[in-house]
A and B are shown apart, each in its own frame.
Chain A
């Protein structure tokens, strides 16, 4: 976090390396293939390092560019999880549209030189401690849920069977001759089970467009 006194960065680097090594040793999976493990660690390390650089950079332009790197790494993780359409859509929407829009707004609204509010963050120490408490809660819950699901007996070939969801959303199931990454299956799920939600999302996009045009400051008459 940007603060008035520049602390020695080696301490933070060593601490984060130690925490990452500890967490990685806990979550490492020796049963998956070596290629998937290598790709996972590459994308995960890029995503987390870029996220840290994004929230600690003093220049919002660099923050936007690091956010684009985070987006690309998350898309790599999507690809590893059999979601190629989501990866492509996320790259198009985030890295192609949202980041460019952010950079345009920075260009329109950025003051020249170093600004005070970018140099000083608000209560960085307390916020960091609170964030670590939140992270410990989430990871502890994950570990508890993982152990309890491994202890129970409804695991069949490594995944739990959810009977209620099968009955509720029949189009979202993967057919016998398809894999999870098939775009045909995703389209069938979207336009079968979630047809009304798709229409609602289109309406939401229209309303948001109208709202953004209404909120955006318009220039005075006669000025370019």
Chain B
């Protein structure tokens, strides 16, 4: 299998198979549509390779029509995805398995109903900070003159101590 064109065909087949694999296994509606678009990429690569083999432009013209249909499909699919998201508040494809034929057995659901969601290490799991220290006492800081009424620290010591009613009013503001 040594040929100038066969290797492009092999790359096209690999892209098609990877897209099919993603379409079968993934459950996010958006990733499903992306996988379908990648299958279209594999097919268009194959068509362009055939156009080169036959040395005419039918394959390239056909690929342009594939591009058109893919754009239509993406627009419609994204509108459908938004509609489904607004109905179920989730992008999970398995929420819609009730749409299958009535005489079919239930599909093989992933066993995530009884287990807690798996949170992977990495940038998607946010760190949980341990609460430390205690909240600062603003009233005492104002009484001792370390901060003024606006909350910023004063650089000179106060000439007169504020009246207690002012202090209470300021503390209530916080």
Contact = CB atoms under 8 A, between A and B. Distances in A.
Nearest to A68: B34
Contact of B120 (A26, A30, A119, A159): A119
Interface of A: 1, 4, 6, 23, 26-32, 40, 44, 47-48, 51-52, 54-55, 58-60, 63-64, 67, 70-71, 74, 77-78, 81-83, 85-86, 89-90, 93-94, 97-98, 101-102, 105-106, 108-111, 113-124, 127-128, 130-132, 134-135, 138-139, 142-143, 146-147, 158-160, 162, 165-166, 169, 172-174, 180, 185-186, 189-190, 193-194, 197, 201, 204-205, 207-209, 211-213, 215-217
B81 to A, nearest CB: 6
Contact of A142 (B6, B31, B53): B6
Contacts of A147: 1
B51 to A, nearest CB: 7
Nearest to A80: B8
A78 B9 CA distance: 12
Given A44-B11, A131-B18, A131-B20, 4 more contacts: A98-B71, A147-B1, A174-B56, A186-B60
A157 to B, nearest CB: 10
B73 to A, nearest CB: 8
A83 B51 contact: yes
Given A23-B10, A74-B41, A102-B33, A209 B75 contact: yes
A208 B77 CA distance: 10
A118 B57 contact: no
B13 A28 contact: no
B53 A146 contact: no
B124 interface: yes
A205 B30 CA distance: 21
B17 A135 contact: yes
Interface stretch (B87-95, B98-106, B142-150, B152-160): B87-95
A110 to B, nearest CB: 8
A94 B33 CA distance: 13
A55 B31 contact: yes
B108 A172 contact: no
B15 A1 contact: no
A1 B21 CA distance: 9
Contacts of B9: 142
Contacts of A212: 75-76, 78-79
B31 A60 contact: yes
A102 B30 CA distance: 7
